[in-house]
Amino acid sequence: MNEPTVQMGPNFIRNLIEEDLATGKHDMIITRFPPEPNGYLHIGHAKSICLNFGLAAIFNGRCHLRFDDTNPVKEEQEYIDAIKTDIRWLGFDWGEHEYYASDYFETLYRYAVRLIDKGLAYVCDLTSDQIRSYRGSLTEPGRESPYRHRTVAENRQLLSEMRAGSYPDGSKVVRAKIDMASPNLNLRDPVLYRILHATHHRTADRWCIYPMYDFAHGQSDSIERISHSICTLEFEDHRPLYDWLCEALEIYHPQQIEFARLNLTYTVMSKRRLLELVTDQHVTGWDDPRMPTLSGMRRRGFPAAAVRAFCDRIGVGKSDSVIDMGVLEDCVREELDSCTPRAMAVLRPLKIVITNYPEGRSEEFTVPKHPKYPEMGSRTIPFSREIYIDSDDFKEDPPKKFFRLGPGREVRLRYGYIIRCDEVVKDPTTNEVVKLMCSYDPETAGGKLPEGRTKVKGIIHWVSVPHAIPVDICLYDRLFTEPNPTGVKDVDYRDHLNPNSLEVLTESYVEPGLQGAKVGDSFQFERLGYFCVDSHSPTSDKPIFNRIVSLRDTWAKLQGEG
């Protein structure tokens, strides 16, 4: 596939790579994206994907896709397939360089044996709770395990028996022998291997011991000759262990570099919490359009180019920060504005009968698909005696500066005529407005204004009743009401779920030109926002449209008013 043009401004990692190439430290840049296949990718992963694949593209190198599949209990083929789909959707490809940590299980096992032979690792019988207790704290040194001084022969034998399945889960681990008094807790004899009797998605039941992430990560980087191992900032304290293992094993030593991860307001970025939202059915699945997952954003209608632009806009730094959701939505609007055809839709219909328009007659207005780009062509909009407008565009007792329709008021129909509301028809039982009787000025078609006629301020959208296409509309909003759902002490983040994050409208209509719109097709519904055909839309005649974003950041405005 053709990779997208990479937009990436100067940053400290790019500068470091340029220096490494200039000094001859590396003659080829090889990066990697190493996801764990235990969930779907989210917008935070997009930043890492764009950075790793982008740097490789800028410097004519390559980026490996390597699945860190070292925990068979939580990993599924579904996640692997979804991850590959998401990366390709973003516009990147790894070619023939698809790898798995499980490719290296035999090599990693030999590395563990090598550490034992050098007296740098041992088999420990302490439980996980005991290991935690022995580790000490930031102010107190740890205590040595009573099994720390086993002989090389004994450790070799025990490791062999662990591999053969002689011991139950949790009964033994392999630990590095480093320094129980180190100020870095990650160097206090970290666990390298644990026993886990579970079927692996690739190696089946050939293994019952699995390497820990800290052991598999750096060694896999080394095997693949990664030049720059780019990680998020939480791995900075793990870098001394990364370096120690490469040096102790006397293998090729990649350079680990950390950057600040992406934090976004009004959502959560922990895969554990995202999984909870799915399993507890607070959302409909990983691809729910309210989720920060790439599959959710794709289904909602976010363009991949907008996600890449967002990652470039926020930049790459060394300090954690929180990015406002509005920045992402602005990138989406900017991308959609340039490429999305216009259409008219009525979300909450109110019928209008134009009493002086001949019954049985209809006409068509030819209008541009995009007002800024005539090369996109034109579309035709039918007009008839009965039309729908949005109920929000009418008020019986309009307030000051309400320039839309009201009793005795005039308004222009977008691309059509000026109409005047002459009569309001109500339901006798509920007293709700059910219909408006209006008249039109036949001299005002298509924006015309006869000499001497007063100009009207309001312009509203509409659709012709006999030509309208019925649709369902999903109005998606922020998933949480709090900018930082996990930041309120002693309050469960789920308590901040937004009860109004989804509104489904089942009696909406769009202009007939949208008949046959395909899954993923996007449109700007004039005056309303950007919408796309949902991937879960039925094959029947009533499609589902998702609101991608509004035309402006109405959320920020509402929060300010509140």
- State how far the Cα of 284 lies from the Cα of 547, in Å rounded to an integer: 17
Structure tokens at 545: 């449209």
Are the beta carbons of 436 and 353 closer than 8 angstroms?
yes
Mention every residue, 6+ apart, whose C-beta is less than 8 A from residue 354.
Answer: 385, 386, 387, 419, 438, 439, 440
Are the beta carbons of 186 and 238 closer than 8 angstroms?
yes
What count of other Cβ atoms lies within 10 Å of the Cβ of residue 64?
Answer: 23
Residue 238, by phi and psi: left (phi above 0), alpha (psi -120 to 50) or beta? Answer: alpha
Q: Are strands 410-413 and 459-460 parallel, antiparallel or unpaired?
A: parallel
Mention every residue, 6+ apart, whose C-beta is less than 8 A from residue 554.
Answer: none
3-state secondary structure 121-157: EEEECCCHHHHHHHCCCCCCCCCCCCCCCCCHHHHHH
What interhelical angle do 325-339 and 554-561 show, nearest 10? Answer: 140
Q: Which of 299, 292, 298, 257 is nearest to 278 (CA)?
A: 292
Q: Which residues of 106-126 are buried (b: 16+ CB within 10 A; e: fewer)?
A: eebbebbbebbeeeebbbbeb
- State how far the Cα of 407 lies from the Cα of 400, in Å rounded to an integer: 14
CA angle, 4 as apex, 38 and 329 as ends, to 5°? 70
Determine which one of 36, 98, 276, 482 is catalytic. 36
Are the beta carbons of 79 and 47 closer than 8 angstroms?
no
What count of other Cβ atoms lies within 10 Å of the Cβ of residue 205?
Answer: 11
Active-site residue, 400 included: no
Q: Under DSSP, is residue 532 helix (H, G, I), strand (E, B) or coil?
A: strand
> In the sheet that 418-426 helps form, which strands lie side by side, from edge to edge?
459-460, 410-413, 418-426, 433-441, 349-354, 386-390, 463-464
Active-site residue, 144 included: no
Determine which one of 66, 172, 188, 271 is catalytic. 271
Active-site residue, 110 included: no
What's 480's DSSP letter?
B
- State how far the Cα of 100 lies from the Cα of 36, in Å rounded to an integer: 10
DSSP 294-358: HHHHHHHT--HHHHHHHHHHH---SS-EEE-HHHHHHHHHHHHHHH--EE-EESSEEEEEETTSP
The one-letter code for the residue type at 64 is: H
Determine which one of 261, 273, 369, 420 is catalytic. 261
The residues that are catalytic are 36, 261, 271
